Amino acid sequence: MKDLHKSLGGVVGTFLALSTILGSGMMILPGTSYHTLARSAWMPWAVAALAVVPLLYCYAWLGRRYPSASGVAHYAEVAFNPVLARTSGTAATFALVAGIPATALTGGRYLAEFTGAGALTWLFPVLVLCVATAVAYAGTGVSGGLQVALVLALFVMVMCVALVALGSSGFQPPGTHLPPAGSFGMVLTAVFVAFTGWETVAFTFEEHKRPDIIPRVFAASYLIVVALYGLLLLSLFATVDPGEEGLNSAPLLLLAERALGDLGRPVALVLVTGVITANVLASVLALSRLVFGMARSGYLPVTLARLRRRDSNPVTAVVAVGALLVLIAVLSTSGLVPLEHLFTFSGGIYFVLYGVGAAAFARLATGGSARAVTALCAVTVLGVTLLAGPAMWLCWGLFTFLAVVVRLTRRRNVRETGPERTRV
């Protein structure tokens, strides 16, 4: 099987990472955390930002040395065995298949609320998923260029809105009052979702021209993300009362209206549309690469590993992924698949995959610094899992159940075909 064409540079790679990370979490979580903890809301954000650093270090280290379209599945196979590899790849596929439609549906609900056009609840998700599929079909170069333009424009808009808000309302210092442990833990668990996405970026690493700059891509995108979240929080502190109910549904709309007056609503509309579109573009591209990598390794039908001859684009995987995502979006808008369940499942599995990546790093890396990073990852994974409660425990349970199923399937195939002919 052939490899994907290496076409990504450091700048486009950084913007791909930003598109993947800045999704529905940016639109909702700053507001919900502020509504719950008032000006002490910065504390769980700071904890989450620091806690994710060793996990990102693991993925950057692995990506530099083992760039593959299979991402965490490849790391698990190199470090452990094919059973964990197939389990990790399948779990990642499920998480993205749930999370991408959920993000698109969030955008549809936002737009329907802003405009009063209820049809946008289902029309926007279907449209943006179809556009993302078409862009991924066109190739990584087209997708990357669009995402650079989108993220740059969105970053400038958010900066302008935030600076106008701070300039007109004045700076309000963050609070120093420690919130109750229960509220803090609940917000921390939710906020951690805003720092997931880098494990999805790993599925594009095979297309990097220089894998050695992957750690710099992670570092740059991390600093930009942290700065953007911090600016949004400070802007909300300055312009919005923490008791306002709108913080739980449309905090960006509140912020834009306080900063820009009558222009606030159209600006917020553009921001939401742009953020969702950029995130879906990046995520559909990443999922198609994961499906291709899994098929190339023999974990999915080999048809999905076909590459277009002129640019080595896995177009069969792209079309299959796009069709499945549109179907799930339609089912969810009909009420058959609750949106909240999609978010809960995808967010939990993303975090489980962080743990798998950290375990692969612990197995492959050597030296004192590697042991220190491993210890920090263990503290983060255990701490967030305990704080998150039953929803996160269920995700770990599902991952374990999937691993058992994969192992039993492997044993059955070995009995039927012999170990020399089995590839699972």
Inside any domain, residue 416: no
Inside any domain, residue 4: no
Residues 18, 230: Cα–Cα separation, whole Å = 15
Q: What element of type H or E holds 288?
A: helix 264-296
Inside any domain, residue 31: yes
Inside any domain, residue 5: no
The token pair at 382 is 């255990």
Which residue from 5, 350, 351, 1 is spatially nearest to 204, judged by alpha carbons? 5
Residues 363, 408: Cα–Cα separation, whole Å = 24
Place of tokens 């879906």: 280
- Residue 418, pLDDT score: 56
Inside any domain, residue 115: yes
Inside any domain, residue 1: no
- Residue 191, pLDDT score: 84
Q: Can you name the residues that pair with 313 across neighbouring β-strands?
A: 308
Query: Which residues, including other chains, have CB under 8 Å from residue 373's CB and lie 6 or more apart?
Result: 54, 57, 58, 361, 365
Residues 386, 394: Cα–Cα separation, whole Å = 12
Quick: pLDDT tens for 224-260. 999 999 999 999 999 988 888 778 777 888 888 888 8
Residues 242, 239: Cα–Cα separation, whole Å = 10
Whole-model pTM: value is 0.88
Q: Which residues of the chain have pLDDT under 70?
A: 1, 24, 335-344, 413-424
Which residue from 100, 195, 142, 129 is spatially nearest to 12, judged by alpha carbons? 142
The token pair at 226 is 């942290």
Inside any domain, residue 419: no
- Residue 421, pLDDT score: 42
- Residue 135, pLDDT score: 94
What CATH number is given to the structural domain containing 188? Answer: 1.20.1740.10
Contact 132, 20 (CB under 8 A): no
Inside any domain, residue 104: yes
Quick: pLDDT tens for 38-90. 999 999 999 889 989 999 999 999 999 999 999 999 999 999 999 999 999 99
User: 182: domain range?
Assistant: 10-410
- Give the 3-state secondary structure of residue 208: strand
- Residue 180, pLDDT score: 84
- Residue 24, pLDDT score: 65
Q: How many domains does the chain have?
A: 1
- Residue 338, pLDDT score: 60
- Residue 306, pLDDT score: 92
> Tell me, what DSSP letter sits at residue 336?
S
Burial degree of 246 (CB within 10 A; 0-12, 13-18, 19+): middle
